[in-house]
């Protein structure tokens, strides 16, 4: 049993490049894929040495896919929290002229905050919020990784929210 077990663990090393390519295609980002592969290997290598790995390749892929799903869920939750925080900012309705003026002032402040952003960050944010493009579509259009697009959008929302809070204080 010990020899088979060791063989299974050594066999895992041969799947690194294959799994890296698979996850790079799946995530759209080589660095994220490399991090997921490393985490999958560590998780399997940390398993009890008394447990024989029957199907090392299948177990490695399943572990990496599960880690990828967990990562996407965490990113989605973080994105939703930031989006809801920005959308929850009090923006007056157009029910009366005073509220319309306040809304126009808020929009002017938002434009000013967007102008402070680096061009790629601003463009990613506008493509998402105004054009409704997905992160993958934005990445293709701007020639960036999906992870970079996500970071740009999160940074833009955070910047705008903080600037609006500062200016409205």
pLDDT number for residue 75 = 76
> What is the average per-residue pLDDT within 136-145?
90
Residue 25 DSSP class: H
* Number of Cβ within a 10 Å radius of residue 91: 13
Which residue, 129, 122, 149, is CA-closest to 138? 149
In the chain, the domains with their CATH numbers are 2-75 (no CATH), 93-168 (1.10.10.10)
* Number of Cβ within a 10 Å radius of residue 125: 22
pLDDT number for residue 92 = 47
> What is the average per-residue pLDDT within 135-159?
90
pTM for the structure as a whole: 0.43
Q: Decide: 116 and 134 in contact? Cβ < 8 Å.
A: no
Burial class for 51, CB neighbours closer than 10 Å (0-12, 13-18, 19+): exposed
Tell me the pLDDT tens digit for each residue of 112-140. Answer: 888 999 999 999 988 888 888 888 899 99
Which residue, 21, 98, 10, is CA-closest to 53? 10
pLDDT number for residue 132 = 84
Provide CB contacts within 8 A for 20, sequence distance 6+.
Answer: 30, 33, 34, 37
Residue 63 clears pLDDT 50, i.e. is over it: yes
Phi (first) and psi of residue 49, to 5 degrees: -70, -10
SS3 call for 70:
helix
pLDDT number for residue 96 = 55
Separation of alpha carbons 33 and 12, rounded Å: 17
Average confidence score pLDDT of the chain: 77
């Amino acid at each position: 049993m010990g020899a088979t077990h060791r063989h299974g663990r050594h066999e895992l090393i041969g799947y690194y490049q294959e799994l890296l390519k698979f996850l790079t295609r799946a995530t759209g980002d080589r660095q994220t894929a490399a991090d997921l592969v490393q985490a999958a290997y560590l998780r399997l290598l940390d398993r009890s040495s008394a447990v024989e790995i029957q199907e090392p390749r299948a177990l490695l892929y399943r572990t990496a896919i599960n880690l990828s799903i967990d990562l996407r869920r965490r990113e989605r939750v973080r994105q939703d929290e930031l989006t809801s925080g920005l959308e929850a900012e009090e923006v007056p309705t157009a029910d009366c002229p005073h509220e319309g003026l306040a809304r126009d002032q808020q929009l002017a402040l938002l434009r000013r905050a967007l102008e402070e952003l680096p061009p790629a960050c601003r463009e990613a944010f506008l493509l998402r919020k105004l054009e409704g493009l997905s992160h993958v579509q934005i990445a293709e259009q701007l020639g960036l990784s999906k992870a970079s697009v996500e970071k740009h959008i999160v940074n833009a929302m955070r910047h705008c929210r903080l600037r609006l809070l500062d200016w409205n204080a």
